[in-house]
Amino acid sequence: MQTAQPFRSVLVTGSNRGLGLELLRQLAQAEPPPRYLFAGCRDPESPRAQDLGNLAKRFSNIEVLKLDVDDFGSIQECADQIEKILENDGLNLLINNAGVNYGGALNEVTPEIMMNSYRTNAVGPMMVTKAFLPALLRAARLNDKFKTTVINMSSIMASMEQFDSTSAAAYAYRISKAALNMVTKCLANELKPHGILCTSLHPGWVQTEMGGEKAPLTKEESVRGILKVLLTLSEKDNGSFLDWRGQRLPW
């Protein structure tokens, strides 16, 4: 039975630390919480997944699953596992959060850094969405229109119109996230007739391993904003680029 909680089933990729872990923590504490909270993590046995393991012990709706977005076999295995758990239910919310930032100015960047960034930040989210499409389509059929959502965690550093020449060069990061933004546009166009939304979201500059300690926002603040934005998304936001306050960003 559908409850007031619009997100009955959620998958967050890269959920063992940073924004992914905080998204799970706040979603688990939502009232009412999602019935299924799938925590994708590339190595659930590693010490880096300890905080996630502890969170999953506290909340019985959290299911930790191995999901390496660079490994297409791992993506499909995770999708098969989730299909078994969901049975006839759908997946309401997919947050493609996993990402890498290897930094790098022109004199530092290599073809390997470029290709690895593209694989994790653009190809991975696209292939994850493809693998979970049957579950997303089921959710869209079972729910009101445009309550099934794919969020691609992007960055203002990918914006061409709002290019900040004072911030890090980060060729691989900027270019791979710009590619991710086009993934958002293509998915938004293709999935709209099925009632599924797809949006790129910039979480702000946040204190995580990636954001560093000089960042002005805490994980808690950023994720509180993101979850508020998610609750208000509608058809008009399909294929758009928003920040954690819901403000529209230029491509």
Ligand X SMILES: NC(=O)c1ccc[n+]([C@@H]2O[C@H](COP(=O)([O-])OP(=O)(O)OC[C@H]3O[C@@H](n4cnc5c(N)ncnc54)[C@H](OP(=O)(O)O)[C@@H]3O)[C@@H](O)[C@H]2O)c1
Q: Does 239 bind ligand X (CB under 6 A)?
A: no
Tell me how far, at minimum, the Cβ of 208 lies from ligand X, in Å.
3
Q: Does 210 bind ligand X (CB under 6 A)?
A: yes
Which of 25, 138 has the CB closer to ligand X?
25
Which of 9, 159 has the CB closer to ligand X?
159
Tell me how far, at minimum, the Cβ of 199 lies from ligand X, in Å.
14
Q: Does 12 bind ligand X (CB under 6 A)?
A: no
Pick the closest to residue 96 from 71, 63, 122 (CA basis). Answer: 122
Q: Does 33 bind ligand X (CB under 6 A)?
A: no
Amino acid at 34: P
For residue 98, the 8-state DSSP code is -
Beta-carbon contacts of 9 under 8 Å, excluding residues fewer than 6 positions away, are 34, 35, 36, 38, 86, 89, 90, 91, 92, 93, 135, 139
Q: Does 17 bind ligand X (CB under 6 A)?
A: yes
Tell me how far, at minimum, the Cβ of 3 lies from ligand X, in Å.
28
Which residues are paired to 39 by β-bridges?
A: 12, 64
Beta-carbon contacts of 230 under 8 Å, excluding residues fewer than 6 positions away, are 7, 93, 149, 151
Binders in 53-92 for ligand X, by CB under 6 A: 67-70
Binding window for ligand X (CB under 6 A); candidates: 29-37, 42-50, 229-237, 239-247: 42-50
CB 9 within 8 A of CB 91: yes
Pick the closest to residue 140 from 194, 62, 202, 59 (CA basis). Answer: 194
Binding window for ligand X (CB under 6 A); candidates: 11-19, 105-113, 143-151, 230-238: 11-19
Q: Which residues bind ligand X (CB under 6 A)?
A: 13-14, 16-20, 42-43, 48, 67-70, 97-101, 120, 153, 155, 202-203, 205-206, 208-211, 215
